[in-house]
A = this chain, B = another copy of it.
Amino acid sequence: MSKVRVHNLAVSLDGFATGEGQSLEAPFGHAGVRLMEWFFETRAFRSMNGKDGGSEGVDNAFAAAWGPGIGAEIMGRNKFGPQRGAWADETWQGWWGDNPPFHTPVFVLTHHPRPALTLAGGNSFHFLDASPAEALAAARAAAGGLDVRIGGGPSTVRQFLDADLVDHLHVVLVPIVLGRGVRLWDGLESLEERFTVEAVTTPSGVTHLTFTRR
């Protein structure tokens, strides 16, 4: 059976996985890039963007685990674009550009379905008004036996955790206090009882936590 995986989900000490005031210019709101600095320094991230160099230690090992074995992604609408409500322009292709980094079918959860988009590099976006279980069934059918990644944002990950559909959760604890934004852990009391948890701190100062379903 293919696994359901979450990777590189960064949270602050106070449990916020994104800041307040998200916009096209500020995808993480007032958090800016502070949750993702550890990631931007890795060789894996740099190579996604056609750049050489970058760190090759533990941060990179986690960053690089994001892609292999994945056959489809599920994301919340807010990861596709910052709009809310009915689509003003169905030709807008999201904020991932002409060749998004996913290279698989992507299922976007939205209460406002629209026609699918097919982009370069094996990317396609499919818009679903569906429960987590229904969306997972659609993604699995498209994943060709490979794993399904829940790509975020935090509200989407929380819904899949709440529905007990996640096999592997990788959270990156960044030692900052954001104060406001979207919380990851709300409603997930005793989540750890369903998982084996490991933790490792790296020289960048972050702590990687892996939750593996028992």
Contact = CB atoms under 8 A, between A and B. Distances in A.
Contact of A200 (B179, B192, B201): B201
Given A15-B15, A197-B205, A207-B201, A173 B173 contact: yes
A190 interface: yes
A114 to B, nearest CB: 35
A190 B199 contact: no
A77 to B, nearest CB: 25
A177 interface: yes
A205 to B, nearest CB: 6
Nearest to A186: B14
Interface on chain A toward B: helix, strand, loop, or mixed SS?
A: loop
Interface in A168-213: 171, 173, 175-180, 183, 185-192, 197-201, 205-207, 209
A192 to B, nearest CB: 5
A13 interface: yes
A75 to B, nearest CB: 23
Contacts of A201: 199-201, 207
27 contacts: A11-B13, A13-B15, A13-B171, A13-B173, A14-B15, A14-B185, A14-B186, A14-B188, A15-B15, A173-B173, A173-B207, A175-B192, A176-B190, A176-B192, A177-B185, A177-B191, A178-B189, A179-B187, A179-B189, A179-B190, A198-B205, A199-B201, A199-B205, A199-B206, A199-B207, A200-B201, A201-B201
Lowest 4 A-B CB distances belong to which pairs? A179-B189, A14-B185, A177-B191, A199-B201
